[in-house]
Amino acid sequence: MRASFRLGRVAGVPVGVNWSVLVIFALIAWGLAANQFPRSYPDRSPVAYTLAGLAAAVVFFVGLLAHEVSHAVVAKRNGLKVDGITLWLFGGVAELRGEPRDPGAELRIAGVGPLVSLLLGAFFGAIAALLALAGQDGLLFGAVAWLAGINVLLAIFNVLPAAPLDGGRLLRAAVWKATGDRTRASVVAARAGWVLGVLLIGLGLWQFLSGVGFGGLWLALIGWFLIGAAGMEERQARTGSALRGVRVGDVMIPQPQTASAEMTVADFVDHYLFAYRHSALPLTEEGRPTGLVTVDRVRGVPAEVATDGRLVGIVSPSDISRAVQRSTLRTPATSR
């Protein structure tokens, strides 16, 4: 998820928001200010409802950020790199680079987020209880009680055992621990994500059609997102496992067809690019590699790649996908 604008850094991690977060922010603030608060606490001014709705939505997103920051901090402690945190339509994402080294690390990184949401829920619950004891059962109590409920709900939803939710990572850690097979664990969690996605779409459509409201459409949308993300995780897991242990030397084309950097682009297109049916050709001068020209680059200026020494081979994305196919054909039973 790409951040549309940056908010700054929290615990050394860049935090940004995607514009789509505005949609969910507006839905939450509007739902509280225009519906829930006026129904539960009638006869207040529209300004009071609006302020309470906006404040509750802001604090909700701060809590969401705390959830993601906790993932990022624990991931860093377990040796992973964190590219950043982005808030968007379906909440937050902490973009981690690399894989946890063992099931324990996976468990800690995934588990801390829902734990933080649960603790936030308990914290707001305690404040709500104190307000109620003090006889303050107005709009402020309503906002704090809503924050308690929504954070507990967030913790519960996130531990559903289905990728890409935190619970899916916990499931993956458990299967990985039990079988010692990380790929299989990823596939199990991804399949569970697919099942949850289908269930949410079914439940959402049923709610919407039976007139419960637009909340059903939202559920269906989340289900649709889960199915897409789970499918991507399964493909990534299979690709990663197929390429494990494969070296660049194994997939490259040795001694590839080369072209001279001195020739014109027209000659190059007519006599090399289409003649040899490669999407990329290395350029050489007196046997030394000087650059790489691709179909896309022919339209602009060929990029110079400064290299010394000899050209030994070339690897393109299609070489890598061929390696993946070969490996899956070789070992058809490993990751089922």
Amino acid sitting at position 47:
V
Q: Considering the complex, what minimum distance in angstroms separates the CB of residue 67 from Zn ion? A: 5
**Cβ-proximal residues to 259 (8 Å cutoff; 6+ apart), any chain:** 268, 272, 281, 282, 283, 284, 293
Q: Which residues bind Zn ion (CB under 5 A)?
A: 113, 166
CA 134, 136, 142, 143 dihedral sign is negative
| Annotation says 304 is catalytic | no
Residue of this chain nearest to Zn ion (CB atom): 113
Q: Considering the complex, what minimum distance in angstroms separates the CB of residue 112 from Zn ion? A: 8
Q: Considering the complex, what minimum distance in angstroms separates the CB of residue 55 from Zn ion? A: 24
Q: Considering the complex, what minimum distance in angstroms separates the CB of residue 224 from Zn ion? A: 20
Exposure of 182 in the CB half-sphere (CA atoms within 13 A): 16
Residue 106 or 166: which CB sits closer to Zn ion?
Answer: 166
Residue 113 or 289: which CB sits closer to Zn ion?
Answer: 113
Q: Considering the complex, what minimum distance in angstroms separates the CB of residue 26 from Zn ion? A: 23
Residue 85 or 187: which CB sits closer to Zn ion?
Answer: 85
Residue 158 or 207: which CB sits closer to Zn ion?
Answer: 158
Q: Which of 68, 106, 233, 234 is catalytic?
A: 68
Residue 71 or 278: which CB sits closer to Zn ion?
Answer: 71
For the annotated catalytic residues, the residue numbers are 68
